[in-house]
Structure 1
Amino acid sequence: MRKIKRKAKIYIPDPKFNDVLVTRFVNHLMKNGKKSLAYKIFYSAMNKIDLIKKNEEKSSIEIWKSGLKNVTPYVEVKSRRMGGSNIKIPVSIPSTIRITKAMKILVTCASIRNEKTMANKLAFEIWDAFNEQGESIKRKENIHKMAEANKAFSHFRF
């Protein structure tokens, strides 16, 4: 074996929802090591979602989880040098990396929105992802379209 198997990280559950997935998301949301600020942004976004939802019987954390599931990509393309050219090969993504990519997509798409605060940006992006619309869903679909377009090269897997 050339590659050493990486040890799985152990995450401590967050204080409010007692969920490890929330801690992972807050770690992606965090900038410059300011985790308490990232938690404030996430929790205020959850409160905004509670205000946004009208006749939805789901809680805000369930809306966030289903929005995250809607954004999750299942395949991606990786470049590989064949002969003198680079070709893009579609590869399925392992489940842990899938969740990480979905979180990164959600955070980056929220940060480029045109709302006033990051909590508002994140809340509306989560709501759009829950309703299967918005920039994060477009990014996921673009990843899947690229993989579908390069399906002819799938037999060159790594």
Structure 2
Amino acid sequence: MSRRKRSRKRLPGADSVYNSYLVSLLSLRVLKNGKKKLADRIVYKALELISEKTNTDGLITLEKAVQNVSPIVELKPKRIGGATYQVPIEVKRLRATNLALKWLLRYSRERAGKNMSFKLARELMDASKGIGSSIRRREEVHRMAEANKAFSYFKARK
């Protein structure tokens, strides 16, 4: 067993415009090839588009979207004997937020549209209303967890 200290999770600092950790997490998820300024520009433009279209603050819409998409349970494969079971486990809050951001970006990239900020804004607005592909993904994960609820007693065993 290693005697080294366990590494601690480091959260990114709050962003400069909205002073929000959630916005900085989102811009880090948008980030490709180390182009942080471009990622920030995409996120800020998306939040601007949201506030123009809905007459509400873009940050509030983002928070509501992440809250709606965040899963409560997820499936983890567990090998017992010769078989692999999909065991439903509860998701911690940080992991749920990261999964929500991952799904929001994945389905916004798959959308048809002008540019990334426009597609991201549409996906965030849909998710805040409780519709869209990312919401469907969360419901699919919950449905699978419900179907595999019989294997939930395996999570206590090591």
Category of TM-score, reference length = shorter chain: over 0.9
Question: Structure 1 pair 83/125, CA: closer, same or farther in 2 (3 Å)?
Answer: same
Q: Name the SS of the counterpart of 1:140 in structure 2.
A: helix
Aligned-pair CA distance for 1:10 = 3.6
Matching residue's letter, 1:26: S
Which residue in 1 is equivalent to 2:128?
130
1:19-38 matched pairs, under 5 angstroms? 19-38=20-39
Matching residue's letter, 1:25: L
Matching residue's letter, 2:39: A
Matching residue's letter, 1:42: V
Question: Structure 1 pair 10/80, CA: closer, same or farther in 2 (3 Å)?
Answer: closer
1:15-65 deviations in whole A, cap 9, x for unaligned? 1101112111110111111110000000110111112215xxx41110111
Aligned-pair CA distance for 1:84 = 1.9
Which residue in 1 is equivalent to 2:155?
157
Q: Structure 2: how far apart are the matches of 1:97 and 1:8? A: 12
Matching residue's letter, 2:126: D
Aligned-pair CA distance for 1:94 = 1.1
Q: Structure 1: how far apart are the matches of 2:125 and 2:33? A: 26
Which residue in 2 is equivalent to 1:8?
9
1:141 is aligned to 2:139: yes
1:74 is aligned to 2:103: no
Identity of matched residues, %: 35
1:61 is aligned to 2:59: yes
Q: Name the SS of the counterpart of 2:66 in structure 1.
A: helix
Question: Structure 1 pair 132/4, CA: closer, same or farther in 2 (3 Å)?
Answer: farther
Q: Name the SS of the counterpart of 1:33 in structure 2.
A: coil
Which residue in 2 is equivalent to 1:83?
81
Which residue in 1 is equivalent to 2:48?
47
Q: Name the SS of the counterpart of 2:79 in structure 1.
A: strand
How many residues of Structure 1 are paired with residues of Structure 2 in the alignment?
155
Q: Name the SS of the counterpart of 1:133 in structure 2.
A: coil
Q: Structure 2: how far apart are the matches of 1:144 and 1:89? A: 12
Q: What is the alpha-carbon root mean square deviation over aligned residues? A: 1.7
Matching residue's letter, 1:73: P
Q: Name the SS of the counterpart of 1:80 in structure 2.
A: strand
Aligned-pair CA distance for 1:4 = 5.9
Structure 1 stretches of 5 or more lacking a match? none
